[in-house]
Each structure stands twice: as C-alpha cells, then as structure tokens.
C-alpha cells in the first residue's frame, strides 16, 4: 500500500506491505538509519521519532496509519550539519557514550522542550523514562536537557520586544 510521509521536511511516497512499521519504513525503505531499535516491543525508546511533533515509538507504529503526517527523526534536528542546541548540549555534557539510545533520547527530549519549555528536573526524568540508556546513568542526559531549556529561555528573553516600542522602523 502507498504510504506518503513528510520526513524531516522532505516528501516521500513508497509502496510497502500494510504491516510495515514506521521504524522499518524509515530504516529499511528510506534508509534513514539514524533511528535505532533495541527491542521492537515498545520498551526501550531507541526508536522514538516525532509524528506531528509528538513522540512515538516507531517500532509499534504502522507506517500506513501515519500516512500523510509529518515525521521528524534525529536526522532532522541539525541544520546543514550544524548541531541544534539540544544536540550541542548532549555533546558538551557527555550525554552520549555508545550513542545507541541517543537518537531516541533526543527526540523525547525535543518533544518535551517543545511542550514544556521550562521543565523541572523531575519532569525531564519523567519525560525520558520511556528511553533506556545503559551507558550514562542518565545524569548527564538530564543536565543536557535542562541546560538546553535554560539556553532557549535566555534566547527568547534576549529577543528585543519591538511590539510596544516607539521604534524608528516604519510600520
């Protein structure tokens, strides 16, 4: 059956078997292997991607059910090779060791930050509790997410508020 997805901004149309999971569609059909798998039973979170901005374990999601929707994978986070801030904080905090949980972890964290720009540590831990990491003990991952939130908040408050100001810019 025909499954059409917009993945990281690009449209794809591929004919696949009806029982093809989103994970298989991404990894095997589109060869976007950034998304990982560790269980195929929904328990490890390594396969987490965003569907219309919400985190989904792609191993349990049939591709045909999300046909027509927008999918973001780890490959869609950076811009032309430049890391986004969350990725950069993962790097600078040592939040990735073997890296196998990292793509899923990033997607869960990105979804959290989009929905809750100022999470508490407990909220970060809760949001990541579906993503197993065997390497890091989670502390450095949690720090990376909290630092990103802080940096984003500062970036927002640093943008000058022009709405009420008597600027010389003509309207």
Partner 1 sequence: MSETLLAEFQVIGQRLSKLDAPQKVTGRTVYADDMHIPGLLVGAILRSPHPHARIRSIDTTEAERLPGVAAVIHAGNVTQRRFGYGQDNIPLKTDKVRCIGDEVAAVAAVDDETAKRALELIKVDYEVLPGVFDPFEALSETAPVIHDERVDITGNISMRWDFDHGDVEAAAAEAAVIVEGDYSAPQAAPAPIETHVVIASFDPNGHLTVWSPVHMVFMYRKALADCLGLDWRRITIIQPPVGGSFGGKIDIEAHDFITVMLAQKAGRPVKLAMTREEEFIGARTRQPIHFHMRTGADAEGNLLFRDAEVVSDNGAYNAWGSHAMLVAMNTITSMYRVPNSRIRCAVVYTNKNYGGSVRGFGNPQATFAVEQQMEELADALGMDPMDLRLRNANQTGDITPQGLEITSCGLSECLEIVRRQSRWDERRGKMRQRNRGLGAAAYIHVGGGARIYGSDGCGAMIKIDDSGQVTLITGASEIGQGSETVLAMIVAEEMGVPVSAVAVINSNTDIKPWDVGVHASRTTFVAGNAARMAAKIARDRLLETASAVLGAPADQLRIRDGIVEVIGEPGRSMDYARIVRRRLLHEEGSVVMATAFYDPPTHNQDKEYVGNISASYGFGAHVAEVEVDPETGMVKLLNLWTAHDVGRALNPMTVEGQIEGGTAMGVGLALSEEIVFVDGRVAAPNFHDYGMPTAVDVPRIEVNLVETIDELGPYGAKGIGEGGIIPPPAAIANAIADATGIRPRAYPMRPWKVKHWIDTNERSYVIVSTDRSEKRESN
47 binds, among ligand FES, partner 1, none (CB under 5 to 8 A by kind): ligand FES
Distance CA 131, CA 139 (A): 13
C-alpha radius of gyration, the chain, whole number: 18
Q: Closest separation between CB of residue 82 and partner 1, Å?
A: 10
What sections of the chain are H helices per DSSP?
Answer: 22-24, 85-93, 102-115, 121-127, 139-158
Q: Which of 65, 116, 120, 129 binds partner 1 (CB under 8 A)?
A: 129
Distance CA 85, CA 110 (A): 10
**Does residue 34 interact with ligand FES by CB under 6 A?**
no
Q: Which of residues 98-157 bind ligand FES (CB under 6 A)?
A: 98-102, 133-136
Token pair 């298989």 in the structure block, residue:
24
Distance CA 23, CA 47 (A): 7
Q: Closest separation between CB of residue 55 and partner 1, Å?
A: 14
Binding site for partner 1 (CB under 8 A): 27, 31-41, 43-44, 46, 73-75, 77-78, 81, 83, 87, 90-94, 96-103, 106, 124-126, 128-142
Binding site for ligand FES (CB under 6 A): 37-40, 42-47, 57, 59, 96-102, 133-136
């Amino acid at each position: 059956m025909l499954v059409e997805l917009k993945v990281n901004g690009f449209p794809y149309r591929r004919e696949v078997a009806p029982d093809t999971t989103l994970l298989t569609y991404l990894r095997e059909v589109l060869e976007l292997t950034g998304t990982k798998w560790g269980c195929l039973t929904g328990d490890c979170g390594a396969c987490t991607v965003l569907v219309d901005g919400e985190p989904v374990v792609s191993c349990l999601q049939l591709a045909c059910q999300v046909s027509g929707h927008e999918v973001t994978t780890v490959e869609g986070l950076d811009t032309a090779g430049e890391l986004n801030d969350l990725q950069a904080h993962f790097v600078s905090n040592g939040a990735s060791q073997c890296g196998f949980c990292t793509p899923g972890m990033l997607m869960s964290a990105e979804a959290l930050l989009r929905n809750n720009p100022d999470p508490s540590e407990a909220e970060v831990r809760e949001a990541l509790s579906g993503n197993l990491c065997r390497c890091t003990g989670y502390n450095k991952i949690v720090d990376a997410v909290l630092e990103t939130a802080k940096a984003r908040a500062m970036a927002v408050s640093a943008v000058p508020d022009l709405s009420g100001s008597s600027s010389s810019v003509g309207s």
